[in-house]
């Protein structure tokens, strides 16, 4: 970011300057690290969320991990703390508003609590939106003006960068891409609606649909290798499908078909240069990426399909940590930030990237989950 507090151009930074603390609150894991202005993560800590213990215990453990990360990083005091968490949330006040993946987290003032714990300003952002910032600034989208980021993890979320700026929406929760309807009246979603892509492509849904298929086998189908597992995961389903397991292949085919349909709709509506797929389910690699690419090429409008590249996230499992760090860097006090970095090389169309998103209008303000 620049010395006046506005965001740095997408595509990098410098290792010098004030580090920030990044906290990623997921439904299955907590990830914490110290992020420097070049996007590097130091002192990374990853632990199970254990959300059944309730917000007080989880937050205490989260903040303890934060202090451990700062000590391990050895970079001195941090200048801000960034928090990435699934929404809905109020980024301005720093309040989590009953996110579905964290039952009981009703109106939790996580931002003010973090400021009290670490003595620095906070920034709060939807985890998938923060990941979109990270991929645009430091990862797969460096040098591009438009990007759609879709995280396929415990849930499904996303973020959108258009004309070089993050799209937040009128209420600040824009980019809820996981709640695009792909099957009207279909499976129940955690949001309370039916037929969302999250209800079919998320890691939890893949596992649930595999368990349902095991309980209601197709007559004449060979026994599934998944039947002997104590608890089926999305990773088990993708591996079994790759090995030729018929039941797993059916579940996986429905997953990628509906995900490809959702991505095609996004490509038609937004016509981005790049669609980035991240999150734990994407560890399946070509098993997910190849059919989604093929569906987009076949089903999206030809000009949009030709303009858009679909690829996996470059930042891997730390994308939400880097994203939390990126939004924290944007709220550092004037003078705390490093000198502006040199812009990256022009993108494929010869364009120079613009800032990822405008600074938060408040002073003290999801990846890889399966």
Give 152-167 pLDDT, tens digit per residue: 988 899 999 999 999 8
**pLDDT greater than 90 at residue 188:** yes
With contact defined as beta carbons under 8 Å apart, do 92 and 171 qualify? no
Token pair for 208? 């649930």
Question: Does residue 189 lie within any of the structural domains?
Answer: yes
The DSSP annotation for 322-335 comes to HHHHHHHHTTSPTT
C-alpha distances (whole Å) from 101 to each of 61, 196, 204, 310, 311 are: 18, 15, 11, 27, 26
Question: Does residue 181 lie within any of the structural domains?
Answer: yes
Question: Does residue 50 lie within any of the structural domains?
Answer: no
Rounded CA-CA distance 65/232 in Å is 30
pLDDT tens track for 95-142: 999 988 899 999 999 999 999 999 999 999 999 999 999 999 999 999
Q: What is the CATH number of the domain that holds 147?
A: 3.30.420.40
pLDDT tens track for 44-70: 999 999 999 999 999 999 999 999 999
What domain count does the chain have?
Answer: 1
Question: Does residue 111 lie within any of the structural domains?
Answer: no
Rounded CA-CA distance 156/202 in Å is 6
Write the CB contacts of 120 (distance below 8 Å, at least 6 apart in sequence): 21, 77, 78, 79, 80, 81
pLDDT at 334 (0 to 100): 65
Question: Does residue 170 lie within any of the structural domains?
Answer: yes
Hunting for tokens 């120079």 — which residue is that?
Answer: 352
**pLDDT greater than 80 at residue 206:** yes
**pLDDT greater than 50 at residue 150:** yes
CA nearest to 289, candidates 276, 298, 301, 299 = 276
Question: Does residue 155 lie within any of the structural domains?
Answer: yes
Question: Does residue 44 lie within any of the structural domains?
Answer: no
Mean pLDDT of 312-330: 94
Map residue 253 onto helix, strand or coil. Answer: helix
pLDDT at 16 (0 to 100): 65
Where in the sequence is the domain holding 215, given as residue range(s)?
143-312
* Size of the chain, expressed as the number of residues it contains: 370
Question: Does residue 336 lie within any of the structural domains?
Answer: no
Handedness of CA 98, 99, 104, 108 (dihedral sign): negative
Hunting for tokens 């797929």 — which residue is that?
Answer: 277
With contact defined as beta carbons under 8 Å apart, do 11 and 142 qualify? yes
């Amino acid at each position: 970011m620049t010395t006046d507090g506005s965001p740095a151009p997408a595509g990098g930074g410098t290792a010098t300057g004030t580090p920030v603390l990044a906290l990623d609150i997921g439904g299955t894991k907590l990830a914490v690290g110290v992020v420097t202005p070049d996007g590097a993560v130091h002192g990374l800590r990853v632990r199970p969320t254990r959300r059944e213990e309730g917000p007080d215990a989880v937050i205490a453990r989260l903040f303890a991990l934060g202090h451990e990360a700062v000590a391990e990083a050895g970079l001195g005091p941090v200048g801000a703390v960034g928090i990435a968490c699934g929404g809905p949330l109020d980024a301005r006040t720093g309040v989590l508003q009953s996110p579905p993946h964290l039952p009981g987290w009703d109106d939790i003032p996580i931002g003010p609590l973090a400021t009290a714990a670490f003595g620095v300003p906070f920034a709060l952002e939807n985890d998938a939106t923060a990941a979109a910032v990270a991929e645009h600034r430091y990862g797969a989208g460096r040098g591009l003006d438009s990007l759609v980021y879709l995280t396929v993890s415990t849930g499904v979320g996303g973020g959108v960068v258009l004309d070089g700026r993050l799209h937040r929406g009128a209420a600040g929760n824009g980019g809820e891409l996981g709640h695009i309807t792909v099957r009207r009246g279909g499976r129940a979603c955690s949001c309370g609606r039916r037929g969302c892509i999250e209800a079919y492509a998320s890691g939890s849904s893949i596992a649930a649909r595999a368990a349902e298929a095991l309980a209601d086998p197709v007559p004449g189908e060979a026994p599934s290798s998944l039947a002997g597992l104590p608890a089926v995961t999305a990773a088990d389903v993708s591996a079994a499908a790759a090995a030729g397991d018929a039941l797993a292949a059916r579940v996986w085919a429905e997953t990628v078909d509906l995900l490809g349909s959702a991505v095609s709709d996004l490509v038609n509506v937004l016509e981005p240069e790049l669609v980035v797929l991240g999150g734990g389910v994407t560890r399946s690699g070509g098993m997910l990426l190849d059919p989604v690419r093929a569906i987009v090429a076949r089903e999206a409008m030809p000009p949009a399909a030709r303009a858009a590249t679909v690829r996996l996230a470059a930042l891997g499992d730390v994308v939400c940590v880097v994203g939390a760090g990126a939004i924290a860097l944007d709220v550092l006090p004037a003078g705390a930030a490093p000198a502006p970095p040199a812009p990256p090389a022009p993108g494929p169309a010869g364009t120079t990237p613009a800032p990822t998103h405008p600074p938060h209008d408040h002073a003290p303000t999801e990846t890889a989950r399966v």
